[in-house]
Amino acid sequence: MSSELTRKIREIREVETSGRHEFSQLIGINKKTLESLEQSGRAPKGDMLEAVCQQWPKYTLWLMTGQVNEEAGQVSPEIEKARQTLKQTGTDTD
């Protein structure tokens, strides 16, 4: 479970920010703490999970359960990345 949460946080970081430095600033943690977490696969602490969910609430359901509910605005980084690609290519339907 701990490595799963760490993997999910990394996926959010990769879709939403330009790197560890920006991500750590946005959620209020030290970049070294984030690096250590990602490299070790340790479980993130509750306050870090809360900070991620507050910064990007659209991932809360997916982060905590692995489920999505697009109608309620709850998506995964995979869905968000696809949306970004569609917008960049001009093939989105919005």
Report phi then psi at 67, rounded to 5. Answer: -100, 160
What's residue 60's pLDDT?
Answer: 98
Assigned CATH for 2-89: 1.10.260.40
Residue-wise pLDDT tens digits, 2-40: 689 999 999 999 999 999 999 999 999 999 999 999 999
- Residue 94 scores a pLDDT above 60: no
The full set of domain ranges for the chain reads 2-89
Tell me the DSSP string of 11-76: HHHHHHSSSHHHHHHHHT--HHHHHHHHHH-PPPPHHHHHHHHHH-GGGHHHHHHS--BGGGTB--
pLDDT at position 41: 85
Query: What was the pLDDT predicted at 46?
Result: 93
Q: Are 23 and 13 in contact (CB under 8 A)?
A: yes
Predicted TM-score (pTM) of the model is 0.89
> What angle separates helix 2-16 from helix 31-40, to the nearest 10 degrees?
130
Distances (CA, A) of 34 to 16, 55, 60, 61: 15, 16, 19, 22
How much is the pLDDT for 48? Answer: 95
> Which pLDDT belongs to residue 25?
97
pLDDT tens-place string over residues 43-66: 899 999 999 999 999 999 999 999
pLDDT of residue 88: 87
